[in-house]
Amino acid sequence: MNQTVTVVGAGLAGSLMAIFLARRGCAVTLMEKRQDMRRKSLPAGRSINLALANRGLKSLRAVGLEDRVREQLVTMRGRMVHDQHGDTDLQPYGQRPWEVIYSVSRPGLNALLLDEAESAGVDLRFGQACRRVDLEAAVLTFEDESSGQTAELPLRRCIAADGAGSVLRETLMKQPGFDCTVDWLEHGYKELCIPASDDGSYRIDANALHIWPRGGYMLIALPNLDGSFTVTLFLPNEGDPGFDHLDTRDRVSDFFKARFPDAAALIPDLEDAFFVNPTGPLGTVRSAPWHLDDKLCLLGDAAHAVVPFHGQGMNAAFEDCLEMDASLEATGGDWSRSFERFFERRKPNTDAIADMAIENYTEMRASVTDPRFLLRKQLAFELERRQPDRLVPRYSMVMFRDDIGYADAQSRGRTQLEIMERALQGKERLEEIDIDAVERQVLETLPPI
Ligand SMILES: Cc1cc2nc3c(=O)[nH]c(=O)nc-3n(C[C@H](O)[C@H](O)[C@H](O)COP(=O)(O)OP(=O)(O)OC[C@H]3O[C@@H](n4cnc5c(N)ncnc54)[C@H](O)[C@@H]3O)c2cc1C
């Protein structure tokens, strides 16, 4: 495909998409608003690490990057739940050795993708913010951050990977027949850090995603390769407790000491970091359609940002890249049809992960300490052991399986939930449940995957 393509946004999705396109022989220009992040460090508090799961890895494998990415990963086997008294309980994510997820550094992964894009011949242009999109004249206007000068590029075969606040989406959605909603969560987030010990070792278990669930809010921590943890507080924006109430050093200190005493002891500069690091918003973007002729197609967060509670935003964006590549293959490089096919195949799946991500917030901040939730998880694992081709816990379908789309995981998950909820009525222990009968229902109701 000897054609010119413009990708706007050199974040995780844009950089990976540029690699896929360059491998197809396209002449790719990648336009990024920020300066080259390989030379300038990210501002503090911008999701320094992320959970990477099998779907994301599958896309990285497709461009030959899996081995190099694996060098950057820290394995997380399960959730380490910290109660109010500092006692911990490891809840494994799955029941087979490979059923794990990984913590990866956002800047490390983004830098690797940019290096690879550069070696694949992508023309990387930093400090270039897309300011205007003229759909009729088919022109994109970029402003150079240092000189303030503007330059134009034709709006043709353009992939918009400019993130949740996408300017390209904003313009596209003003067209008749296009629609977009942004649902803001009434909770925000703030990042903090647990540093490594003096000898570089981890202060808490390295191979877990740590959660301090407190019902209406929570703290989580993901390991970094250097022995530190990135900690994120998810809290209502308003109320008590809420970000608006935590407005003095004493209030921050008292809140952490009362609610997360073991974590507070591990964050040395807690009050300073709390006021230096920004409080970020959390929202879900739902838009449709994502494409206009062969001019433009949205991809990644620009099309479908989700809240981070299933750790799937980046994974979904990486799946997008694989699907866009498959669409170009399936249509013989017809861009208009590729964009259309891509949208039709991805939209039901990204809608499904948007819903499941919101549901997972309740699971992480509250359900993980609920005996009924834990009993249901035990039952799901037992049924999976008996019928591994028919019953796979929904969390496992989303996080470990790259052969089940999000929409199928969601609808199968609903049926599984109904079966299990019926079996759990009035039961407190696994031994009280007639598992053979539940297994028969699974066989009758759920076709093999
Ligand atoms: C707190 C938090 C935790 C998260 N945790 C996880 C996780 O554990 N696992 C997971 O899978 N996902 C997670 N996510 C989601 C993940 O960060 C996103 O889904 C992912 O970054 C999407 O990639 P993207 O390339 O589409 O967008 P982005 O990463 O936002 O990249 C967009 C790029 O476009 C550039 N840009 C923006 N506007 C313009 C413009 N006008 N002109 C040119 N360039 C522009 C930006 O500078 C940026 O480089 C998390 C998100 C948050 C907020």
Q: What is the mean pLDDT of each run of 10 residues along the chain (449 residues)?
A: 93 98 98 93 69 98 98 97 95 96 97 98 98 97 97 97 98 97 97 97 98 96 97 97 98 98 97 97 98 98 97 98 98 97 98 97 88 96 98 98 97 98 96 97 97
Please work out whether the CB of residue 208 comes within 6 Å of at least one atom of ligand 1. no
Please work out whether the CB of residue 300 comes within 6 Å of at least one atom of ligand 1. yes
C-alpha 348 – ligand 1 centre gap (Å): 21
Angle between helices 406-424 and 335-365 (to 10 degrees): 30
Peptide bond connecting 241 to the previous residue in cis, omega within 30 degrees of 0: yes
Q: 80-88 — which CB contacts under 8 Å span 24+ positions? A: 80/204, 80/205, 80/208, 80/209, 80/210, 80/211, 81/211, 81/213, 81/368, 81/369, 82/210, 82/211, 82/212, 82/260, 82/262, 82/263, 83/369, 84/214, 84/259, 84/261, 86/261, 86/262, 88/205
Q: Which of 7, 12, 126 to mutate to test the pocket of ligand 1 (most atoms within 8 A of CB)?
A: 12
Ligand 1, atom 19: nearest CA belongs to which residue? 313
Q: What pLDDT score was predicted for residue 41?
A: 66
Please work out whether the CB of residue 9 comes within 6 Å of at least one atom of ligand 1. yes
**Residue 209: closest CA among 75, 401, 399:** 75
Q: What pLDDT score was predicted for residue 45?
A: 53
Q: Give the Cα separation of 47 and 189 in Å (integer).
A: 10
Q: Give the Cα separation of 339 and 404 in Å (integer).
A: 22
Q: What pLDDT score was predicted for residue 3?
A: 94
Q: What pLDDT score was predicted for residue 42?
A: 58
Ligand 1 atom having least distance to the Cα of 305: 19
**Residue 299: closest CA among 403, 168, 153, 173:** 168
Q: Which of 20, 50, 132, 324 to mutate to test the pocket of ligand 1 (most atoms within 8 A of CB)?
A: 50
The full set of domains in the chain, from first to last, is 4-72+105-181+284-360 (3.50.50.60), 183-281 (no CATH), 370-445 (no CATH)
Q: What pLDDT score was predicted for residue 366?
A: 82
C-alpha 46 – ligand 1 centre gap (Å): 10
| Whether 150 contacts 167, CB under 8 Å | no
- pTM (global) more than 0.95: yes
Q: Give the Cα separation of 363 and 373 in Å (integer).
A: 9
Q: Which tokens sit at 7?
A: 């990708």
C-alpha 32 – ligand 1 centre gap (Å): 12
Please work out whether the CB of residue 312 comes within 6 Å of at least one atom of ligand 1. yes
